[in-house]
Chains A and B, each alone.
Chain A
Amino acid sequence: MTGLSANPALSRVADRVQEDRRRSRYISGALTVALTIMVAWSVDVTVIQDTDWERIGSVANVWEATSHFIGLDLELFPDLLVPAIETLLIACLGTAFGLILCIPAAWFGAMNITPYPPITYPLARLMMTLSRSIHEIVWALFFVAVVGLGAMAGVLAIAVRSVGFIAKMTAEAIEDIDYGPVEAIRAVGGSNFQVIVYAILPQVLPQIVSVVIFEWEINIRRSAILGLVGAGGLGLVFFRQMNTFNYHGVTSVIVAILIIILLGEAISYFIRRRMI
């Protein structure tokens, strides 16, 4: 300590470090208190006041309600094949449409190639935020209202919902490309369009493919539930089984969903490993 105080500059630094440390301790203390109060309040409202403990009853009652679900309705599985294929195809098509929709979004949303930054850039960012902030169920409700019940609504909902993530990752990839090829194409007189096709696209294509496969995997998960609001696929079967109180059938549908998701994950893992 004496070595520090001998040098005024050093001791000032030491003071500042201590001051910083004290302040960050205050901040984290205040945060902890605030979070604890928030937890206590939330537990009080949600778990103690809002829950009807008498209806739930004892652990035995809960266990009884849960045990309805244990077991499979094996006869249902052949009927699940067509909805499962439908679900997978809705996911594929939704991702493909999403990719088409995301071309303008990614083009406008990448700061270095956006045609007119003050207008197109915020526009693209708005599109991405809208797409990501609205839940797929809400999108599906909207598209069911527009195009009617069926797979089409599901495809559109998934397409719109995937734009945000794909476009954001693509725009970020475009923003840190290597400028050599861009300048080379410009130097030989290429137009903006030619620059995008020959200099930018080849550089970001591997990343786009990888993002799209990742999103496809998530979209299987999403398309499996869109049937709940009338957009076809396994969700519809789930809804019907639930409403007819065929609990074993519900479990069977969940197992089917798990199987196709595992399948999707395996395919996506395989392709992504091949590409790298």
Chain B
Amino acid sequence: MSNRMAAFGGPGKKKLEWRRFRYPESLVSYAGWLIAFTVVVFSIEYLNIPLDRILGMLGRMGDILADRYYPPDIEYIMDMDYFGYVVETIQMAYLGALFGLIITIPIAWFASFNMTPSRRFVYPVARLFGMSCRAVHETIWAILFVSILGFGMLPGVLALTLFSAGFAAKLFAEEIERIDMGPVEAMRSTGANLFQIMLFGVWPQVRVAFTGIAIYTWDVAFRAATVVGFFGAGGMGWYLKRNVLQIETERVAAIILSIIVLVIISEALSAWARRAVMKMK
């Protein structure tokens, strides 16, 4: 999380200045607010959002929750069959994150501006690959792979692989761009080749960060794994889809509850593991 904080100007940012109206800057920022406001109003018009009915909808939401989704059918998910699906989901997320991380290493290397072998050719290609992995949503990847490979967990694993590769490559490339170039220069001057520089000059500097990113990626991949099954890629999502189609809302509520519990557990585990890794630094 710390690198994210830094990206948004978290702690340690330059001191805020208090200032009065200044001719061009303030005008630009007012114009920005005006544009944002106009876009919101325009979209309410364009999408026919019934603003006056939103409050009423809240009440209906409560009714629907109380009528249909309560009480969740806990007994339904307390059985070995479902447990098997949960284990499958975990395995899918684990493998997807692992393969993704393996691909991430070369991509992040090629996509980091300071270490890339060729700034003109390899860098844009690697950036584009990472970006398109990230831009296409994991469910779309899942649908594509399911249509190519058929139902099952393999398409899910592949979809999660691309998803985690895109996710981790960005963070890892940023981490490589932040290293101290001293050791790299020293190795270059003694005639080390690219692999040696990567292995002995860069890797020791980013090892801990990479472990943190890996744990975080697993966590995110698990969250995505709970739904890729919805489009035919195995795991809990498939269970969810079946019950959604059968309009077994109380069972759906139970499945969603189990997803929430699992995600909270995995989040806590990953936070704990990341803290442990940071301590070892």
A residues within 8 Å of B by Cβ? 24, 38-39, 41-43, 45-47, 50-52, 55-56, 62, 65-66, 69, 85-86, 89-90, 92-93, 96, 129-130, 133-135, 137-138, 141, 145-147, 151-152, 155, 169, 172-173, 176, 178, 202-203, 206-207, 210-211, 214, 221-222, 224-225, 228, 232, 238, 242, 250, 254, 257-258, 261-262, 265, 271, 274, 276
Contact = CB atoms under 8 A, between A and B. Distances in A.
Given A92-B39, A133-B264, A42 B139 contact: no
Given A43-B95, A51-B153, A210 B136 contact: no
Contacts of B223: 133, 135
B204 interface: no
Contact of A52 (B43, B49, B152, B256): B152
B60 interface: yes
Interface string B9-26: 111000110100000000
14 contacts: A50-B152, A50-B154, A56-B149, A89-B43, A90-B47, A93-B40, A93-B49, A129-B264, A133-B223, A135-B224, A146-B57, A257-B135, A262-B131, A262-B135
B130 interface: no
Contact of B8 (A50, A56, A207, A221): A207
Q: Is the interface of A mostly helix, strand, loop or mixed?
A: helix
B230 interface: yes
A47 B154 contact: yes
A69 B49 contact: no
A51 B16 contact: no
B234 interface: yes
Contacts of A43: 95
B9 A207 contact: yes
Contacts of A271: 32
Interface stretch (B70-78, B140-148, B178-186, B191-199): B140-148
A276 B44 CA distance: 30
A138 B227 contact: yes
A46 B139 contact: no
A203 B13 CA distance: 12
Given A42-B94, A169-B8, A222 B137 contact: yes
Given A46-B95, A222-B137, 17 more contacts: A24-B280, A43-B95, A51-B152, A52-B150, A69-B144, A93-B44, A133-B223, A134-B260, A146-B57, A151-B49, A172-B10, A202-B18, A207-B10, A242-B143, A254-B136, A257-B140, A261-B135
B147 A137 contact: no
Interface in B111-168: 131-132, 134-137, 139-140, 143-144, 147-150, 152-154, 156-157
